[in-house]
Amino acid sequence: MAMLYIPRAFPIADLETWVRQESRRDQEHAVDLLERLQILQRTADPKKPRSFLLTNPFAASLRQALTGAGHHNSFGVPSNAESQHPIPINQLDEFARSQWESILGYMVGSTAVVLGNQGARLSNSVKTLLQYGGLVEVKGVSVGITQEGFAFVLQEVNAQVWTVLILYLDSAEQLSMDKVDVLSFLFMLGSLELGQSYSKNNLTDTQSQMLLDLGDLGIIYQDNSKSDHYYPTRLATTLTSDAGALRSSSAGFGGALRSSSSDDKGFVVIETNYRLYAYTSSPLQIAILSLFARLITRYPNMVSGKMTRDSVRRAIDMGITGDQIIDFLYTHAHAQMRKNSATVLPPTVVDQIRLWQIEGERMKTTGGFLFKDFASEKEYIGPCEYARDIGVLVWKNDKSKMFFVTRVEQIAAYLKNQRERRREGG
């Protein structure tokens, strides 16, 4: 930043005075990286000391962005259209929360839990984007969450938003959109002010199309598609900051900028007999729990259930790993569990979840037929090699003269033909 307003080349010797001796390697790495990004360039005069200069148009564009100069509108163009009917921030928060939880609800909606969403409808473009990113798997009319999708649900909301936006950026060319326009608009959204409306008149065609798509994600709010202004929601204004847009998938926007301690988000109690109690009324969190637990009773502010072999195996079959289940339980463990135990979760429960996963990895059943009791090695080798050639051989033991196949019809026909040939030859 100090070089931004220096019109001449900056000697490397002066730059080194800003860096501690033990950090010289980091400085060299940073300079090398900036050169490869064509942000810094070396001076061409060999008679002068080695110097660096910020390249153009990078330097000019950054100065314009910082000062709001030029016609690039780096921080958006405020609109006065809301002066008569401004949209309150709590309404923007409610809209963003409803839209985002509808996305998470769709991802875990394969469970039997009714999410009871607040009227938010998910567009086909958002569903396609989630499927494109491998977060859900669609089979016919059913939707199942994947391993990557479950990891996505466990992330903080800022990380979730950026994951979806990166998928959106990757698919921009398929939507005939300019990637540079898409990326610059996303960064601009992070600099906008919550509660302020902005004009659409200066946007490119790509950015105007983005408003519709980002509205489906709850990042942008518009009164209607023909409106000449838009509002960034909290999901947009926290894109480039470390402030949380949502504390967790169940927290809502009530504590959007409050710290997220374990006392705030802990709601799960699990006993050594695998019984589980969740002190939550969030339909989304209940749906997540039902992915790997059998829920039995539901009260106004609590659900109870039990983790069983079948419920955990069902989650593992969907691609959710045992470690992900353990991480979820640990992250959302009730404060009382953290006070009473150094390990937080009962070791028996943690070990059993891992054993249930290993059980599926070490054992696999295959239906088929075992052939044995061959009179000679020659009689054994013929049908065994034939089974291998036609692709039905699963296992063999040459020493015991036994083999196992998935289909018996062709092998039986082969043995019958061999017997007839021996009879004819005899």
Tell me which residue of 69, 29, 155 sits closest to 104, measured CA to CA: 155
Which conformational region is residue 48 in: left (phi greater than 0), alpha (psi within -120 to 50 degrees), or beta? beta
What is the pLDDT averaged over residues 292-321? 91
> What is each CA distance from 156 to 129, 189, 249, 347, in whole angstroms?
19, 19, 8, 26
One-letter amino acid of 189: L
| Residue 325 Cα to chain centre, angstroms | 15
What per-residue confidence (pLDDT) applies to 25? Answer: 76
How would residue 69 be classed by pLDDT, with cut points 50, 70 and 90? low
Token readout for 45 is 């005069």
Top-confidence residue, 71 or 19: 19
Strands 220-221 and 10-11: unpaired
Token readout for 20 is 């501690």
Cβ burial 58-88 (10 Å sphere, 16+ → b, else e): bbeeeebbeeeeeeeebebeebebbeeeebe
What is the pLDDT averaged over residues 243-268? 47
386 membership: H or E segment, kind and range: helix 377-390
What CA–CA distance (Å, rounded) separates 269 from 19? 51
What per-residue confidence (pLDDT) applies to 319? Answer: 78
- Neighbouring CB atoms inside 10 A of 46's CB total 6
Are the C-beta atoms of 301 and 281 separated by less than 8 Å? Answer: yes
What per-residue confidence (pLDDT) applies to 415? Answer: 87
Cα R_g (the chain), whole angstroms: 31
Averaged pLDDT of the chain = 82
Condensed to tens digits (0 to 9), the pLDDT of residues 115-139 reads 444 445 778 889 999 999 999 988 8
Contacting residues for 20 by C-beta, under 8 A, at least 6 apart: none
Strand partners, 302: 299
What does 319-360 look like in DSSP terms, one character per residue? T--HHHHHHHHHHTB-HHHHHH-SSSS-HHHHHHHHHHHHHH
Condensed to tens digits (0 to 9), the pLDDT of residues 26-45 reads 887 888 888 888 888 887 66
Does 57 sit behind a cis peptide bond, omega within 30 degrees of 0 on the bond before it? yes
What per-residue confidence (pLDDT) applies to 255? Answer: 35
DSSP 8-state code for residue 297: E
Strands 275-278 and 302-306: antiparallel
Please indicate, yes or no, whether the overall pTM of this predicted structure exceeds 0.85: no
What per-residue confidence (pLDDT) applies to 115? Answer: 47
Is the confidence at residue 389, as pLDDT, over 50?
yes
How would residue 249 be classed by pLDDT, with cut points 50, 70 and 90? very low
How would residue 53 be classed by pLDDT, with cut points 50, 70 and 90? confident
Cβ burial 182-218 (10 Å sphere, 16+ → b, else e): bebbbebbebbeebbbbbbeebeebbebbbebbbbbb
What per-residue confidence (pLDDT) applies to 109? Answer: 72
What per-residue confidence (pLDDT) applies to 215? Answer: 92
What is the pLDDT averaged over residues 151-169? 89
Is the confidence at residue 260, as pLDDT, over 60?
no
One-letter amino acid of 86: P
Condensed to tens digits (0 to 9), the pLDDT of residues 211-223 reads 989 999 999 999 8
Strands (E), 27-128: 40-42, 51-54
What does 176-187 look like in DSSP terms, one character per residue? T--HHHHHHHHH
| Residue 412 Cα to chain centre, angstroms | 51
Contacting residues for 310 by C-beta, under 8 A, at least 6 apart: 294
What CA–CA distance (Å, rounded) separates 20 from 119? 57
Strands 393-397 and 402-405: antiparallel
